[in-house]
Amino acid sequence: MVNQLEIRNLHAKIADSGEVILKGVNLVVPKGQIHAVMGPNGAGKSTLGKIIAGDPSYEVTAGDILVDGESILELEPDERARKGLFLAFQYPVEVPGVSNANFLRLALQAKKGEEVSMMEFYDRLQRALKTLDWDESILTRYLNDGFSGGEKKRNEIMHMMVLEPTYAILDETDSGLDIDALKVVAKGVNAMRGPNFGALLITHYQRILNYIVPDAVHVMMDGRIVTSGGPELALQLEERGYEWVKELAVTGS
């Protein structure tokens, strides 16, 4: 069995306007690894994450997305989640009236396709809360309602830890975080690392990669991956900016 998330020559456009966003993305994230995708605004990074998760606002015009060798293009977002995919949103949605705990238990049961005992659910919650150094009071609050930006991002990571996806797409999880919040979020992601978990970390900045050291870094510009390398590539980007890779985007080499 092929244990990887594979993006194969993916082309996509905005469904309403027809604007082309992805222009042939090729990317492989093996299970057990964390890969970072970096690039300037408008490169298509967040769009890639949304399309992997099944956002209907976009239309795939060519290529494929495979989870462990199986195409998921025809699956609905909830079906993709049951296949083991998880998307941590750049801007998490607020849901007044629904408690964090109730939402999370329903999500876990939907993912597993069976009833989850309170004991199992509580054990998962406690492990996540301990790792994230968070008080249980967060569980009774409405989902992201009135949360600070840092709380929303930490909440996304808690959900990921409880749901235990096979592959996670972390869309600018570091956006708007101060250094303390960034360290806590990174601690949660690093706690997930292991042979049964892979992640695609989408970010503008090298900063988060000081705390979540990736196995590989990919640079995305103008809707495609233009170069890839190890963690040192992120340091080069921090030092030199994106100007030095623009020629790669033009030539495709």
CATH of the domain at 72: 3.40.50.300
3-state class (DSSP) for residue 215: coil
Sorting pLDDT into bands at 50, 70 and 90, what band is 248?
low
| Residue 190: per-residue pLDDT | 97
Q: Give percent of the chain with pLDDT exceeding 90.
A: 74
Domain count along the chain: 1
Phi and psi at residue 177, to the nearest 5°: -90, 140
pLDDT of residue 22: 97
Closest CA to 29 of 46, 52, 12: 52
In a domain, 105, yes or no: no
Please, which pLDDT band fits residue 175 given cuts at 50, 70 and 90?
confident
pLDDT value at 209 more than 90: yes
Residue 128 counted as domain residue: no
Distances (CA, A) of 205 to 41, 190, 191, 232: 11, 18, 22, 13
Mean pLDDT of 196-220: 94
Tokens of 104: 């999370």
- Is residue 116 included in any domain, yes or no? no
131 in a domain, yes or no? Answer: no
Mean per-residue pLDDT for 205-214?
92
- Determine phi and psi for 245, rounding to 5 degrees: -105, 0
Angle at 34 between CA 31 and CA 37, to 5 degrees: 125
- Domain contains 159: no
- 16 with 57: CB under 8 angstroms? yes
Task: Give me the domain span that covers residue 26.
Answer: 4-97+165-251
Give burial (CB, 10 Å; 0-12/13-18/19+) of 243: exposed
Alpha helices in 43-86 (DSSP H): 45-53, 77-82
Higher-confidence position of 245 and 60: 60
Q: Which residue has the higher pLDDT, 247 or 140?
A: 140
In DSSP terms, which residues pair with 34 in a beta bridge? 199
Average pLDDT over residues 123-133: 94
Residue 139 resides in a domain: no
Residue tagged 């949360």 (tokens): 147
pLDDT of 89: 77
Task: Give the three-class secondary structure for 107.
Answer: helix
Residue given tokens 């992120």 in the structure block: 234
Note whether residue 160 is domain-resident: no
Whether 147 is in a domain gets the answer no
Question: How would you label 156-188 residue by residue, b for 16+ Cβ within 10 Å and e otherwise?
Answer: bbbbbbbbbbbbbbbbbbbeebeeebbebbbeb
| The pLDDT value given to residue 251 | 52
Three-state secondary structure string covering 143-157: ECCCCCHHHHHHHHH
pLDDT of 142 over the 80 cut: yes
Residues 176-193 have a mean pLDDT of: 92
d(CA 161, CA 125): 8
